[in-house]
Amino acid sequence: MISGWTEPCITDDTSRHCYEIVDTRITWVNASELCKRGGGHLVTIESVEEQTFITDLVMKKKFNVPALWIGSDKLHPEEQRAWANGEKFSYVNWAKGEPNNLLIDEDCVEMRTDNITWHDVRCAHLNGYICENSRT
Ligand SMILES: [Ca+2]
Ligand SMILES: [Ca+2]
């Protein structure tokens, strides 16, 4: 369950970003819906600083899920590749060889909890997820 947006948060020049990591395994669409219901969205990682902050959060906690959904779907074809809000990727942390669309329809993006790299996988896969709430 979303337990609230009080912590942990980072503040940059223009806004404050708070994160909630949930280790219940659900599909990308369901994770996206739950984040929205909590007033946020699946995390968009726009800089190395944001990735580092999230990496620290993930590493601090022992997860019983191998991967967490982040906020990108409709990954293929390549020219559509972006965050679900339409924003183009300004930063990426793909694992070597990813995104590879290996099983066809690997249209959603997960972040592995062991090494924090991104992989494209099928959206019906069951993962934990990270919600973000950004306020200006
Ligand atoms: Ca973000
Ligand atoms: Ca893949």
pTM of the entire predicted model: 0.91
Ligand number nearest to the C-alpha of 42:
1
Rounded-to-integer distance, Cα 45 and Cα 6, Å: 19
96's CB contacts (< 8 A; 6+ apart) are none
6, part of any domain:
no
Which residue type is seen at 130?
A: I
Cα–Cα–Cα angle for 48, 51, 55, nearest 5°? 135
Q: Kindly report the CATH number assigned to the domain that includes residue 103.
A: 3.10.100.10
Domain, as residue range, for 69: 16-135
Chain segment 44-92, per-residue pLDDT in tens: 999 999 999 999 999 988 788 999 999 999 888 877 788 998 889 999 9
Ligand 1 geometric centre to CA of 46 (Å): 6
Q: Please determine, for residue 20, whether its predicted confidence score (pLDDT) is greater than 80.
A: yes
Whether residue 10 lies inside any domain: the answer is no
Position of tokens 């300004």? 90
Ligand nearest to the CA of 103: 2
The pLDDT of residue 1 is: 41
Residue 64 belongs to a domain? yes
CA of 96, nearest ligand number: 2
Whether the Cβ atoms of residue 87 and residue 104 lie closer than 8 Å to each other: no
**73 in any annotated domain:** yes
